Amino acid sequence: MDLENTLLMMPGPVPVAPRTLRAMAKPMINHRGAAFSEMYDDCREILAGVFKTQNDIFVISGSGSASMEAAIGCTINKDDTIVTIENGKFGERFKDIAGRYGNVVPLEFEWGEGIDLGIVEEKLSEGAKAVTLVHNETSAGIMNPAKEVGKLARKYDALFIMDGVTSIGGDVVEVDEWGVDIAVVGSQKCLAAPPGLSMISVSERAFSAMDDVDRMPYYLDLKAYKKSADKESTQTPYTPAIPLFFALHDALNIVREEGMDARIKRHRTGAEAIRAAVAAMGIDMLPKLNEHSSYSNTVSAMKAPDSVGGNNIKKDMLERGIVIAGGQARLSDRIFRIGSMGNFTAHEILVTIQQLETVLHKRGVVPGHGAGIQAASNVLDTLL
């Protein structure tokens, strides 16, 4: 019996509010008509407040990876040097994308370990057209120092391309203050819309850099997005995924209604509750922090006890109706991850922790006296 009540607690897609789901079920409209333009304009206005930027913002009908590629493909020529900072799977993805467009200088740190800003500065001082950073590394649950990398990028005159896929809309991001030339977010993460769209902000510096690029991608051509957005009646260059725009617009209205300060506080409290709970259960976090890094406030990555493995924890949770994530690629089975992302409330966190504690107890790795749920509850007092 499928009651459609599985609880998604992975780091995206996140549960979508019923009102947002209903917004999606409206009849199609002409994507070249006034109603679409107004909707797109309103989305861009709300997004400017979420990104904290005066830069142009576009909505691309494609996942976060599409926008990551747009950022690199439109600014990097074959012979341009691009420094990619990696301490997780999405940092690696930037490296892979960059390798298809330019001359990559990969800075590889252990997945889940804080990055060394000294090495970043060293590489940038040798000259680079751009540097990429994953702000919130979803695969490892670590928050990287975007503000500091932004300063270094400006110091050495490199474009700063930032993956904010799982931070923007859920944690503090200051695109203009940090000097982020291109920032990317996915629809299905902190913004709590369905997957399928990504949003990208582009600075004047980034647009200028595009003038030197010979062979930009076509579907992901940011100049084409700008040209269509600058029309008297705002458009997208190619047919947009209309229902996903309906949903995004509603989801962004929810963000506006809550307010970014409250939204960030809620995300931080949720993640803190998860961290407190797992600490009380004797489970270690994956990230190895340094002075420039911190735990992610939208996804928590925990080391799986050797005797159980991350995949078993994930499987046991799924049997109890809760979808959490395991580890990706080299972290497979070594960790498990729980999202605190989107429109969650204290309820979902509590239920997840309670079930996790039961699962780990049945697997023989925690005593099961409720230390986890108690610790979570203490933190969540502020949210309830």
Residues of this chain that bind a second copy (CB under 8 A)? 4, 6, 8, 10, 12-16, 21-22, 24-31, 33, 61-66, 69, 73, 78, 96-97, 100-101, 186, 188, 194-197, 215-220, 238-244, 247, 323
For the beta carbon of residue 66, count every other beta carbon within 10 angstroms: 20
Q: What is the DSSP letter of 10?
A: S
Least spacing, CB of residue 38 vs a second copy, in Å: 12
The CA–CA distances, whole Å, from 175 to 42, 129, 146, 308 equal 19, 19, 9, 41
Length of the chain: 384
186 or 305: CB nearest a second copy: 186
Least spacing, CB of residue 192 vs a second copy, in Å: 10
188 or 201: CB nearest a second copy: 188
Least spacing, CB of residue 357 vs a second copy, in Å: 22
The CA–CA distances, whole Å, from 229 to 110, 114, 142, 193, 238 equal 40, 38, 35, 22, 12
Cβ–Cβ < 8 Å for 343, 14: yes
The DSSP-derived string for 45-102 is HHHHHHHT--SEEEEEES-HHHHHHHHHHTT--TT-EEEEEESSHHHHHHHHHHHTTS
Least spacing, CB of residue 341 vs a second copy, in Å: 12
215 or 291: CB nearest a second copy: 215
184 or 276: CB nearest a second copy: 184
Cβ–Cβ < 8 Å for 313, 364: no
Least spacing, CB of residue 11 vs a second copy, in Å: 11
User: Can you count the helices (H) and strands (E) in the chain?
Assistant: 14, 14
Rounded Cα–Cα distance for residues 110 and 108 (Å) = 7
Structure tokens at 110: 């252990």
Least spacing, CB of residue 69 vs a second copy, in Å: 5
231 or 261: CB nearest a second copy: 231
Task: Write out the H or E segment, with its range, that includes residue 247.
Answer: helix 242-258
73 or 164: CB nearest a second copy: 73
252 or 380: CB nearest a second copy: 252
Least spacing, CB of residue 190 vs a second copy, in Å: 14
29 or 279: CB nearest a second copy: 29
52 or 95: CB nearest a second copy: 95
Cβ–Cβ < 8 Å for 95, 84: yes
Least spacing, CB of residue 2 vs a second copy, in Å: 8
Query: Which residues pair with residue 85 across a beta bridge?
Result: 107
Rounded Cα–Cα distance for residues 15 and 54 (Å) = 30
Least spacing, CB of residue 217 vs a second copy, in Å: 6
> Roughly what angle, to the nearest 10 degrees, separates helices 34-51 and 242-258?
40
146 or 213: CB nearest a second copy: 213
Rounded Cα–Cα distance for residues 288 and 281 (Å) = 19
Least spacing, CB of residue 374 vs a second copy, in Å: 29
